[in-house]
Amino acid sequence: MLPPVRIGPSILNSDLSKLAEECERMIECGADYLHLDVMDGHFVPNLTFGHPVVQSIRDNLGDRPFFDVHMMVSKPEQWVKPMADAKVNLFTFHLESTDKPQDLIKQIRDHGMKAGCGIKPGTPVSLLTELLYTQMCDCALVMTVEPGFGGQKFMKDMMPKVKALRDQFPDLDIEVDGGVSPDTIQYCAEAGANMIVSGSAIMRSSDPKGVINELRSVVEEFSVPR
């Protein structure tokens, strides 16, 4: 069996003028965690928010929601302590953003957070598996779009990366992010992903609870041996 299925709305697709309320709405709709996209305008050509906003959301929602910060930034190490202070649960950096990923994973854990590592579509999965054999992290993120912008088309050709990770690390949390919706979730489930990030498909739906339940149901269907 796969690790537990978790569905995480990407709150960047919400009404940012009432961010805390939107996050609370997602939790009430059954989200297992909140996926918070942090972009610095350097690692990706877009700018979102940083640790002060994350801290503000935490202050409004309390300790209950699980925060996964997706750090699309050039120097992730400088944001470890601020994000830890904001009570982030999972700090996910990009393999392409650092020359010392092993040290960064240790730094993240030393600050009381789980460590995730992601790769862009153009990065070979072998580089991530090599890291995982030398320094295991808590979550591997496979981007299914180019990071930096929402609303992109799902890249089905990233699924062999997910499958390669699942075959080699059966107990690892494997996350997919980008263009994931009820129309594409089966590909993710078949490949072995168990942490599902979905943005506009959930946030802009008239029935976000229904979408979350549908995504979960499909992944759970593929999470048991046949």
Using the CB atoms, write b or e for 65-92: b if 16+ within 10 Å. bbbbbbbbbeebbebbeebbebbbbbbb
- Active-site annotation holds for 37: yes
The span from the CA of 47 to the CA of 31, in Å, is: 25
Torsion over CA: 199, 202, 203, 205 (sign)? positive
State which amino acid sits at residue 192: G
Strand partners, 68: 35, 90
Q: Please say whether the beta carbons of 4 and 219 come within 8 A.
A: no
Given the residues 15, 32, 37, 99, the one annotated as active site: 37
The span from the CA of 128 to the CA of 116, in Å, is: 11
Strand partners, 174: 140
The span from the CA of 90 to the CA of 157, in Å, is: 26
Given the residues 32, 40, 138, 177, the one annotated as active site: 177
- Active-site annotation holds for 32: no
The span from the CA of 11 to the CA of 17, in Å, is: 12
Active site residues: 37, 177
